[in-house]
Structure 1
Amino acid sequence: MKSAVSVNRYQWVLLMLLVLCGLQNACADEYEPENTENWAVNSAWVKELPILEQEVVLVSLGLAVSTHVDTKLIPAVKSRRDMQWVLKVAGTSNAMLVPLATNSPQIRAFYESRSKVYLDAINGKIDADEFERVMAEITRKMEQYTARISKEQIDQVRRKYRARLLDTETALIAFSKLRVQ
């Protein structure tokens, strides 16, 4: 009888340790995805680009996420909660682009503004109409700013960094989803 109690105590202590470790990991995972350093490593090359190339790459990454949101995530929305998650993914991805804009304060400001608008929508500070209006204004300003970049320059940069751009695009989408789970 005594050994059964000892085993039960041992199992109970082991269970409590596992639960405490699990809670600690769950709290940490809530804020940072596993292997977060991979995003920093995967995206570091963007920070080193000359201004024109950096702007093309950042706008390309932003467009890739927007396309993914519009074609994959929004069509799958079935509830308000799903839509909140989509908004969080989109906002997070914009926020993740901000630190990459080391040579372009204008592009950095656009992504900061977009992140804030997503956050305001998530927190209910603005309605859908205001969200659309503000995002359209930010997009208009971004288009005006980048209008000086020719289609040939854009194509050249995208060709030059095709593989890296695709890898970073994939990582951006994946890590933005992980960060909001």
Structure 2
Amino acid sequence: MYAVQRNCMVLVFLLLALVPTAKGSDEPENSENWAVTSAWVKELPTLEQQIVLVSLGLGMSAHVDTKLIPAVKSKSDMQWVLKVAGTSNVMLSGLATRAVEVRAFFDDRSKVYLDVMNGRIDADVFEQEMAKINVRIEQATAHITPQEIAQVRSKYRVRLQDTETTLIAYAKLRVR
């Protein structure tokens, strides 16, 4: 009898260990909610918002290029990477409350990711479209001096790092 009760207790313990906590099993460990972590970006003046959003976009692109793409082993892996990249652009677009032109770039990038995922465009057209958008981003932000960029990145260094980390984590979670 004692062995049966003990086995039942072990089984209950194991089941409880597998049940997600109130926080949710899909949330990244040690990270805040995306809306909370990123809210500060929405309140920035236009110039600072442009710099921060482009910096976050560049950080996400670097993560995709250096971490995600090299790990691709199948077509479904590549689809997942494209979804993560597209999702991150949608998330960044939502932060562009004052930098309307930057929002349009993120929206355009999201659409191109969606088009390639759905087979409406091939890899060559994808690359061409992204290159066009990148040229438009460079032209629209050409008035920003390197000193202004350095100043804003320095001013918000910790927040930028935290927001970029959370952006990467939540973009991955949203496409699971």
TM-score, structure 2 length as denominator? 0.83
Match of 1:66 among 52, 61, 66: 61
Tell me if 1:54 matches 2:49.
yes
1:153-180 Cα offsets, whole Å, 9 max, x none, are 0000000000000000000000000000
Contact 2:32 2:166 in 1 (8 A): no
Paired residue type of 1:120: D
Whose radius of gyration is greater, 1 or 2? 1
Distance in 2 (CA, whole Å) between partners of 1:69 and 1:121 is: 16
Contact 2:60 2:164 in 1 (8 A): yes
| The structure with more helix, counted as a fraction of residues | 1
Number of the residue aligned with 2:100: 105
Tell me if 1:93 matches 2:84.
no
Paired residue type of 1:133: Q
Match of 1:153 among 142, 148, 152: 148
Number of the residue aligned with 1:16: none
Number of the residue aligned with 1:76: 71
Number of the residue aligned with 2:110: 115
Paired residue type of 1:98: S
Distance in 2 (CA, whole Å) between partners of 1:125 and 1:174 is: 28
Match of 1:174 among 158, 169, 172: 169
Paired residue type of 2:159: R
- The size of the alignment, in residue pairs, is 153
Number of the residue aligned with 1:140: 135
- Unmatched 5+ residue regions in structure 2? 1-18
1:63-97 Cα offsets, whole Å, 9 max, x none, are 00000000000001011010000000000000000
| Equivalent position SS for 2:102 | helix
**Shift in Å, 1:57:** 0.2
**Shift in Å, 1:99:** 1.1
Distance in 1 (CA, whole Å) between partners of 2:121 and 2:104 is: 20
Paired residue type of 2:74: S
**Shift in Å, 1:104:** 1.2
TM-score, structure 1 length as denominator? 0.81
Moved over 3 A (4+): 33-37
